[in-house]
């Protein structure tokens, strides 16, 4: 996608935040191919990406300490599966998918059964940076197994990651709006 193909600000918002997940994913890959190297040379983008990565690692550490992987796998293997439904895939936007690509995540559709999220692979979600709903959702099983102090820490680390992701998305959106 070059400067002439970017369109208006309104068209950019429509392109980034609406539509089918497969279209969003293709758009993210196109933008990465066209602008990935340019974005990697922008200090503010790379600094914010590092901040997002640090918050994501802190959240993963907390989730590991709470043995959430075991809890989620048990739930997902039972009747009705887990919370990662096909509907959730549509919650991703182009900039979140692009952010994952910039971080070196191999973003691809894992399966397309129409029931589970298409980014749900054999070992869980392939995305490092997820939509707000996915990050904020704390099911009853997790609440039952967690102590109040550990749940609070989980929520704090989730909030930190969401803030940093939102800041990163804004930097990316500003960059693409500059291109028009």
CA atoms within 13 A on the CB side of 112: 5
Model pTM? 0.88
pLDDT in tens, the chain (180 residues): 444 455 788 999 999 999 899 999 999 999 999 999 999 999 999 999 999 999 999 999 998 888 887 777 667 666 665 788 788 888 999 999 999 999 999 999 998 887 788 888 877 788 999 999 888 888 887 888 788 999 999 999 999 999 999 999 999 999 999 987
Instruction: Return the structure tokens found at 115.
Output: 């029931």
At 160 the pLDDT is: 97
At 2 the pLDDT is: 47
Where in the chain are the domains? 3-178
Query: Judging by beta carbons within 10 Å of its beta carbon (0-12, 13-18, 19+), is residue 102 exposed, middle or buried?
Result: buried
Q: Which of 127, 65, 114, 58 is nearest to 87 (CA)?
A: 114
């Amino acid at each position: 996608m070059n400067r002439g193909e970017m369109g208006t600000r309104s068209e950019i918002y429509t392109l980034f935040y609406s539509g089918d997940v497969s279209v969003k994913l293709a758009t993210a890959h196109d933008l990465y191919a066209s602008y990935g190297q340019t974005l990697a040379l922008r200090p503010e983008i790379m600094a914010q990406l590092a901040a997002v990565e640090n918050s994501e690692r802190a959240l993963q550490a907390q989730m590991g300490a709470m043995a959430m992987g075991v809890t989620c796998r048990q739930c997902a293997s039972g009747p009705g599966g887990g919370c990662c439904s096909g509907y959730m895939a549509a919650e991703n936007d182009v900039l979140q998918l692009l952010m994952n690509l910039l971080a070196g995540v191999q973003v691809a559709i894992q399966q397309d059964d129409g029931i589970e999220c298409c980014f749900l692979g054999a070992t869980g979600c392939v995305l490092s940076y997820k939509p707000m709903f996915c990050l904020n959702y704390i099911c009853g099983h997790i609440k039952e197994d967690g102590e109040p102090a550990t749940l609070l820490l989980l929520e704090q680390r989730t909030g930190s990651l969401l803030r940093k992701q939102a800041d990163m998305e804004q930097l990316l959106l500003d960059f693409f709006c500059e291109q028009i």
